Amino acid sequence: MPEATRFENLSDLASWIAGADLYIGNDSGVTHLAAATGVKTLALFQVTDPAKWAPRGPNVVVLEKPSVASALSAAKQLLGTS
């Protein structure tokens, strides 16, 4: 199994995320960082209120308590493959 990628600072992490085609994450600081880089971001919320805590941006889709099917559909839509 490959090792995890580790970053010493948030700037390096942001640069790495910015190179992705899509970032999928939960309600976390890294998801907000992904949205801030402009990368297509799918933010999944289970417990916290996305109206209050969701990242913002033109490339951000937020789903609250999504099914696997709805998350996959949103990911395909963000990638333009739906």
CA dihedral 10, 18, 61, 69 (to 10 degrees): -100
Q: How far apart are CA 8 and CA 66, in angstroms?
A: 32
pLDDT digits (tens, 9 = 90+) for 2-22: 788 899 999 999 999 999 999
Q: How far apart are CA 43 and CA 55, in angstroms?
A: 8
pLDDT digits (tens, 9 = 90+) for 21-68: 999 999 999 999 999 999 999 999 999 999 999 999 999 999 999 999
Q: How far apart are CA 82 and CA 74, in angstroms?
A: 9
What is the pLDDT at residue 73? 97
User: Is the pLDDT assigned to residue 1 strictly greater than 70?
Assistant: no
What pTM does this model have?
Answer: 0.92
User: Is the pLDDT assigned to residue 70 strictly greater than 70?
Assistant: yes
